[in-house]
Amino acid sequence: MAMGIGELWSQMGSIMASIMFVYAMYDRFFPPHIRRYALKYTTKFTNLMYPYIQITFHELSGERLKRNETYKVIQTYLSANSSQRVRKLKAEVVKDSQTPLVLTMDDNQEIVDEFNGVKVWWSANHITSQSQPFSYYPASNEKRFLTLTFHKRHRDLITTSYIQHVLEQGKAITLKNRQLKIYTNNPSNNWGGYRSTKWSHTTFEHPARFETLAMEPEKKEEIINDLVKFKNGKEYYAKVGKAWKRGYLLFGPPGTGKSTMISAIANFMNYDVYDLELTTVKDNNDLKRLLIETSSKSIIVIEDIDCSLELTGQRKKKTEKDNDENGGKPDPIKEADKEDKKESKVTLSGLLNFIDGIWSACGAERIIIFTTNFVDKLDPALIRRGRMDNHIEMSYCGYQAFKILARNYLDIEYHHDLFPIIEKLLGETNMTPADVAENLMPNSITEDFETCLKNLIHSLEIAKKAAMDEEEKKKAEDEEAQLKVEKDKQELTQEEVKVKADGILEKKVKENGVTN
Ligand SMILES: Nc1ncnc2c1ncn2[C@@H]1O[C@H](COP(=O)(O)OP(=O)(O)OP(=O)(O)O)[C@@H](O)[C@H]1O
């Protein structure tokens, strides 16, 4: 006969009461050391019966309870996998991330992950403990940890491959989401009589991308392929015994996109940028120290390398020009700056060591970029292949590059009737992408794209005429110079004739004098 609900409840009640009674007796009459003994053996027994292994990853570790990097990386991995599956999520503000609000698994939530067909369980937990006086997070007396549970027959797979997989994936996601930074070296205060420079940084938010960079598509593709090969080249570089770094030399006239290219590379590679101002570096040692302080996955840039040091004599010219701009008088600010530069004792060999000396191998995955407007003036040792592996010429705007700018600035995707005229004019005159872009920008909100294209045509025609006039002028000057040379030659020959004639006359006079 079926048992009534009331009867069931009364039976459960008496079972519970018996359990409580036995526990109270155990607690009261068994001394603690016997209880500990019993607990030890019960745990051993349950461990034998329980086929799962648990690994915990604590949020804080070490004596000073610093935040554990592994915990953060696993949390990132789990966030990427859990936000779709877990019902209770926690929103956290993360510093230096492109997505400042990150959703992570909340306490006591569990997610199931699968690796090579094996199931594992992750759970987020916390225990409340006494507050930690030495913790970097003094307010926190909650110890958080993540627990990984898996069947013991998969021990090897999980403890080696799976955990490594989680860490690699977590790191990759962190890198992808991180906010890029741009560093620059500033002279630091006199300290103990030693004047050195220090990196300071801000967030790097340049919007340049390869898609928006105006250059010939084949050339662009070549650069992208080279970068991808470099990024995936860890094993290759290790195999050939070369430090994992690459040098790029960007050269071309001002306004052809050298700085824009650097930003596009940084965004594409997801690397930080170190903009090195060589003139404020005290000496080779200071340069070495700055190099050591740069991180992996970064681009070290030295812009206008020809003006940075007295490696080419270019700096002297620049200074003279600066004085001319100031009515011949030295500008006090620039003079102070000059004092700074005078102190820079970085030498060519110091710079060469910086690029490929022993110390350049500290840190990996680094790109060094030099830019210059005057490639011919650079010391060949500085830019030889192997140091600057890839020489990229940034040239005047061609038709393909123009089409990219037209798409960027005017949203013209494929073609416009004015394009053939522009193509012809671009073939006949030199205009930098910076100037083309400037012309394509509407001067007012009422200006439509056709007007912008016409503005460009007008500017190209003016530039073409100016170039022709310049050429004519140069031709005329050359001709004049040539004429002068010829005239000088003629005058010289006349002079020679005169000298000769005078010589003959003198001789005759002497002879006559003798005969007379
Ligand atoms: N190839 C390009 N593609 C897209 N935009 C460009 C390109 N070249 C120049 N520009 C535009 O012109 C501006 C100036 O270009 P950029 O500073 O990159 O030139 P640069 O070659 O580094 O000049 P400089 O030698 O004077 O430093 C940029 O802000 C960008 O808007």
CA of 256 to the centre of ligand 1 (A): 5
pLDDT digits (tens, 9 = 90+) for 83-97: 556 566 666 655 555
Give 372's pLDDT tier (boundaries 50, 70, 90): very high
Q: Are residues 154 and 192 in the same domain?
A: no
Taking 60 as the threshold, does the pLDDT of residue 104 lie above it?
yes
What is residue 84's predicted lDDT score, i.e. its pLDDT? Answer: 58
Taking 60 as the threshold, does the pLDDT of residue 138 lie above it?
no
Among the three residues 157, 177, 197, which one is the final residue of a domain in this structure?
Answer: 177
Ligand 1 binding pocket includes 257 (Cβ within 6 Å)? yes
| Residue 131 DSSP code | -
What is residue 303's predicted lDDT score, i.e. its pLDDT? Answer: 92
Q: Are residues 240 and 383 in the same domain?
A: yes
What is residue 140's predicted lDDT score, i.e. its pLDDT? Answer: 53
CA of 454 to the centre of ligand 1 (A): 22
Q: Are residues 185 and 318 in the same domain?
A: yes
Among the three residues 148, 177, 206, which one is the final residue of a domain in this structure?
Answer: 177
Ligand 1 binding pocket includes 259 (Cβ within 6 Å)? yes
Ligand 1 binding pocket includes 429 (Cβ within 6 Å)? no
pLDDT digits (tens, 9 = 90+) for 471-482: 889 998 998 899
pLDDT digits (tens, 9 = 90+) for 224-283: 999 999 999 999 998 988 889 999 999 999 999 999 999 999 999 999 999 998 888 888
* Mutation probe of ligand 1 site: the residue of 209, 212, 256 with most atoms within 8 A of C-beta: 256
Mean pLDDT of all residues in the chain?
Answer: 81
Is 160 inside any structural domain?
A: yes
Most confident of 90-104, 110-124, 131-145, 490-504: 110-124
CA of 337 to the centre of ligand 1 (A): 26
Ligand 1 binding pocket includes 366 (Cβ within 6 Å)? no
What is residue 319's predicted lDDT score, i.e. its pLDDT? Answer: 45
Q: Domain range for residue 161?
A: 30-177
At which residue do the structure tokens 């155990």 appear?
A: 26
Residues 6+ apart with CB under 8 A from 43: none
Q: Are strands 366-372 and 245-251 parallel, antiparallel or unpaired?
A: parallel
Q: Are residues 382 and 406 in the same domain?
A: no
* Mutation probe of ligand 1 site: the residue of 219, 259, 409 with most atoms within 8 A of C-beta: 259
Give 155's pLDDT tier (boundaries 50, 70, 90): very high
The protein residue whose alpha carbon is closest to atom 25 in ligand 1 is 254
Give 1's pLDDT tier (boundaries 50, 70, 90): very low
DSSP letters spanning 383-398: HSTTTS-EEEE--S--
The protein residue whose alpha carbon is closest to atom 31 in ligand 1 is 434
Closest ligand 1 atom to 434 CA? 12
Ligand 1 binding pocket includes 223 (Cβ within 6 Å)? no
Q: Are residues 168 and 234 in the same domain?
A: no
Is 21 inside any structural domain?
A: no
Pairwise pLDDT comparison (489 vs 117), residue with the higher score: 117
What is residue 314's predicted lDDT score, i.e. its pLDDT? Answer: 39
Q: Are residues 355 and 222 in the same domain?
A: yes
The protein residue whose alpha carbon is closest to atom 7 in ligand 1 is 257
Q: Are residues 254 and 288 in the same domain?
A: yes
Give 322's pLDDT tier (boundaries 50, 70, 90): very low
| Residue 250 DSSP code | E
Q: Mean pLDDT across the stretch 356-366? A: 77
Is 489 inside any structural domain?
A: no
CB 235 within 8 A of CB 325: no
Residues 6+ apart with CB under 8 A from 116: 157, 161, 162
Q: Are residues 205 and 296 in the same domain?
A: yes
Taking 70 as the threshold, does the pLDDT of residue 321 lie above it?
no
What is residue 490's predicted lDDT score, i.e. its pLDDT? Answer: 80
pLDDT digits (tens, 9 = 90+) for 24-39: 777 777 777 777 777 7
Among the three residues 359, 375, 393, which one is the final residue of a domain in this structure?
Answer: 393
Interface TM-score (ipTM) > 0.95? yes
Q: Are residues 377 and 415 in the same domain?
A: no
Closest ligand 1 atom to 262 CA? 18
Pairwise pLDDT comparison (41 vs 313), residue with the higher score: 41
Q: Mean pLDDT across the stretch 401-414? A: 90
Q: What angle do CA 461, 465, 467 make, to 5 degrees?
A: 115
Give 315's pLDDT tier (boundaries 50, 70, 90): very low
The protein residue whose alpha carbon is closest to atom 13 in ligand 1 is 434
- Candidates 379, 452, 453; CA nearest to 420 is 453
What is residue 313's predicted lDDT score, i.e. its pLDDT? Answer: 39
What is residue 107's predicted lDDT score, i.e. its pLDDT? Answer: 72
What is residue 26's predicted lDDT score, i.e. its pLDDT? Answer: 73
Is 34 inside any structural domain?
A: yes
What is residue 30's predicted lDDT score, i.e. its pLDDT? Answer: 72
CA of 462 to the centre of ligand 1 (A): 21
Tokens of 73: 């990386």
Number of folded domains that form the chain: 3
Taking 90 as the threshold, does the pLDDT of residue 167 lie above it?
yes
Q: Are residues 345 and 443 in the same domain?
A: no
Q: Mean pLDDT across the stretch 197-211? A: 90
Please count the CA atoms within 13 angstroms of the CA of 274 that sit on its side-chain side: 21
pLDDT digits (tens, 9 = 90+) for 430-460: 999 999 999 998 877 777 888 899 999 999 9
Is 74 inside any structural domain?
A: yes
Closest ligand 1 atom to 263 CA? 18
Q: Residue 369 — φ and ψ, nearest 5°? A: -120, 130
Q: Are residues 152 and 234 in the same domain?
A: no
Please report, for the domain that includes residue 308, its CATH number.
3.40.50.300
Give 492's pLDDT tier (boundaries 50, 70, 90): confident
Ligand 1 binding pocket includes 437 (Cβ within 6 Å)? yes
Least confident of 93-107, 220-234, 366-380, 401-415: 93-107
Taking 80 as the threshold, does the pLDDT of residue 5 lie above it?
no
Is 382 inside any structural domain?
A: yes
Q: Are residues 377 and 433 in the same domain?
A: no
Q: Mean pLDDT across the stretch 48-73? A: 79
| Residue 346 DSSP code | -
Q: Mean pLDDT across the stretch 404-413? A: 90
> What sign results for the dihedral spanned by CA atoms 286, 292, 293, 297?
positive
Ligand 1 binding pocket includes 260 (Cβ within 6 Å)? yes
Most confident of 35-39, 171-175, 400-404, 497-501: 400-404
Least confident of 83-92, 195-204, 265-274, 391-400: 83-92
